[in-house]
Every structure is written in C-alpha cells, then in structure tokens.
Amino acid sequence: MSHLIAPSILTANLLDLRAEIEMINNSDADWLHLDIMDGVFVPNISFGFPLIEQIATVSKKPLDVHLMIVDPARYIERFKECGADRLGIHLEADIHLNRTVNFIKKLGMRACVVINPHTGVFLLEDIIPEVDQVLVMSVNPGYGGQKFIENTFSKISTLKDLILKKSSKAIIEVDGGVNLENAQRLITAGADVLVVGNAIFASENPRLTISRLKSL
C-alpha cells in the first residue's frame, strides 16, 4: 500500500481548531491523529472526551487515537463512543494486552499497540498476529516538537521482519520528530503511516507540506 499521512493536532492551533481540522479535511492527509495524555503515564496533559466528541463531528478523516494513559482498558468503550476509528494502547501501560487488543477489535475499532523508544521489538512477538498496527515512538512520549531518535530506522526494519516472520497483517506507524528530511528513510525502512505534527503545523503552507509528504 502507499504510505499514509496522519497529522497530529497536538501542535495545531487549538484556539482555532475547527479551521485546522478543515484544512486537514481538504488536504491529502489520510487520518487525523489525536494524542491523549493523562499527566501520569507521560509528564503532560492534553485533552479528553468532550473535545474528541467535537472533533469527530468536524473531521472527515478517520480518528487515529493514541492513548498515553495508565490503565487504558478502563476507557476503551468510551473512546469508541467518542468516535475513535483506531485506538492505540502502550505495551508498557497494559498488563493484559491480548485481552485489551481483542476487546478493541470486538468493538469495531482497529487495534494498535504502541512501543516507547526503549522498548524492544521482541516483546511484540506474541501479540503481533493479533494487532492491526504497531506505533513506534521515535521520541519519548509526552510533548510535540522533540528531536527524532535515529535508532528508529533500524527498529522499524526489525519490526518489519517480525511482521513477515509471524505472517501478521499489521501496518507500521511512526510518531515523533517526523519531517520532510527523514520521511523517505522511514518509508524505505518499512513505515506505512507517518504521524506528523510540528513539521506540518509550523510550516508556512501546511497543506503543501502534507502533499509533499504524501508524494514521497
């Protein structure tokens, strides 16, 4: 498949969020990425259910929701009700990962497992046949605009090998410090979905930046 672009609204202008989402609706972007932070699992707080519900009424793109929260299984049904199409949970935050992944799928969402920069790909070996996608964090989660971690390229290649070895249908998503300078290398390494925040919303022409990322 052709690679997908998922703008992350974490670095968007939240005071003019409707306009930012309309820009994404009219762009070549494929998904809208939402980072949910609780101030416990990561040292930051973003936004919650009321805003997600409002975003779902405006967005024409599928909502790719990334939970950076403790005990994410408590809220699976609530995020479905809010309009999530894809739900990502951290391997590091869920001690019953198989059960949670299958519950996400039972509710009709795509299930994504997220791994932090320090988490080894080998820990996904048992769950990889069950998931729809794996999100590889290429920065330490919690804040937008961080510097990309170079080891991510080899980590994606290792993950791609594991997916093939296990005959999994999972796609690979990468999030953190993604921009026009490293996007092609990520795609070559095996990334299917690029989550891009600051490189889009801080650019002079966000729609053009999305188009350039999409055309790589």
Q: What pLDDT sits at residue 58? A: 98
pLDDT tops 80 at residue 8: yes
DSSP 8-state secondary structure symbol assigned to residue 162: H
Q: What pLDDT sits at residue 145? A: 77
Q: Please state, in angstroms and rounded to a whole number, the distance separating the CA atoms of residues 190 and 155.
A: 10
- Give the residue extent of every domain in the chain: 4-214
Q: What pLDDT sits at residue 143? A: 81
How many Cα atoms within 13 Å fall on the side-chain side of residue 7? 34
- What is the homologous superfamily of the domain 4-214 according to CATH? Aldolase class I (3.20.20.70)
Encoded tokens for 109: 């969402």
The residues, any chain, with a CB within 8 Å of residue 109's CB and separated by 6 or more, are 79, 80, 84, 85, 86, 87
pLDDT tops 90 at residue 144: no
Other beta carbons within 10 Å of 6: 27
Q: Which residues are catalytic?
A: 35, 175
Q: Please state, in angstroms and rounded to a whole number, the distance separating the CA atoms of residues 40 and 8.
A: 21
Residue-wise pLDDT tens digits, 93-118: 999 999 999 999 999 999 999 999 99
Q: What pLDDT sits at residue 9? A: 96
User: E strands within the chain?
Assistant: 4-7, 32-37, 63-68, 86-90, 110-115, 133-137, 171-175, 193-196
Mean pLDDT of the chain: 97
Residue-wise pLDDT tens digits, 55-68: 999 999 999 999 99
pLDDT tops 80 at residue 1: no
Per-residue pLDDT band for 142 (boundaries 50, 70, 90) equals confident
Percent of the chain with pLDDT over 90: 97
- Whole-model pTM above 0.95? yes
| Contact in structure between 193 and 174 (CB atoms under 8 Å) | yes
The average pLDDT across 203-209 equals: 98
Element (H, E) at 38: none
Residue-wise pLDDT tens digits, 153-180: 999 999 999 999 999 999 999 999 999 9
